[in-house]
Every structure is written in C-alpha cells, then in structure tokens.
Amino acid sequence: MESTEHTTFADLAARARAHGIDRYSAGAIVHRDSGREILLLRRRDDDTSFPGAESLPSGGVDPGESILDGLAREVREEIGRAPGPLPLEPFVTWFDHVSRHGYRKRQFTFALPTTGRTWCSPKITRTSAGFLRRSTRTPTSPRR
C-alpha cells in the first residue's frame, strides 16, 4: 500500500482506476474517547448481505458521486448523522474486494471522531448499534 499523506480524494480514485477498479465504497471508523471506543453496527439476521454481522458504517459510492460525498451520504443513512462537513481525520486505509454482485471495488476507510453519544439512529437494515470499548488488557496480561 502506498503512503496516503497529502493525498486528495481525486488521487485516491485515480490510483484505483490505474489498477482497473472504477467502483468504490466508503466507510468510517466512528470513534470517541480518543479512539478508545469505536462504533459497530449489527446487521439484521435476515439481511441479504452478511446477516448478523457487525461492521463499520460503510456502503457504495454511487456513479458520479465523489468519495467524500458517498461517505457523507452513507454515514447519514446508516447512523443518522446530520448533513454538513465531516470532521474527518487523516485517511486511514483502503482495501480491494469483490462485491456481492461480482464487481471489483475499492473501499476507502476514514477516521471520524465524535463526542458524546454520537448520532445513532441506525437505518432499517441494522438491528443495533453501539460503541465497543477497547480493552486496556494487553495480550500478555493475565485474565481476571
């Protein structure tokens, strides 16, 4: 993976196209308490895509939509965030995958800090949403 420092949204899309990928999705690591808690959504058990799975807020970027606009729309649809600028932190990562429809896609994931209880009115395809607190126990710490 290449360095993403000083990368623009247009650069991200251009790099994907250079690899033969012209479909994108965008996701957010919504976090609070200095990153100690992240928001996870749980899909309904009867969902057609990954039933019962937990995931970050994310979804497809529509044709003609910028990566940032797609991210803002998905965050609004999935967790009820009001329209407006997203207080994004630096770009986090990307990965390539094949969609359930068989398309090669690149997902761009961004860090999105929030304070308080956040916006959380999950859309109808989700059954629950909640923050997962990072454990302070290290892998070598004894369990109690």
pLDDT in tens, 2-16: 444 556 778 888 999
pLDDT in tens, 49-76: 778 888 888 999 999 998 888 998 988 8
Mean pLDDT of 73-96: 80
Tokens of 42: 């749980």
- Compute the Cα dihedral for 130, 48, 123, 102 and give only its sign: positive
Looking at every residue in the chain, the average pLDDT score rounds to: 77
pLDDT band at 78 (very low <50, low <70, confident <90, very high): confident
Domains of the chain are: 23-133 (3.90.79.10)
Q: Given a cut of 50, is residue 124 above it in pLDDT?
A: no
Per the rule left: phi > 0, alpha: psi between -120 and 50, beta: everything else, 63 is beta
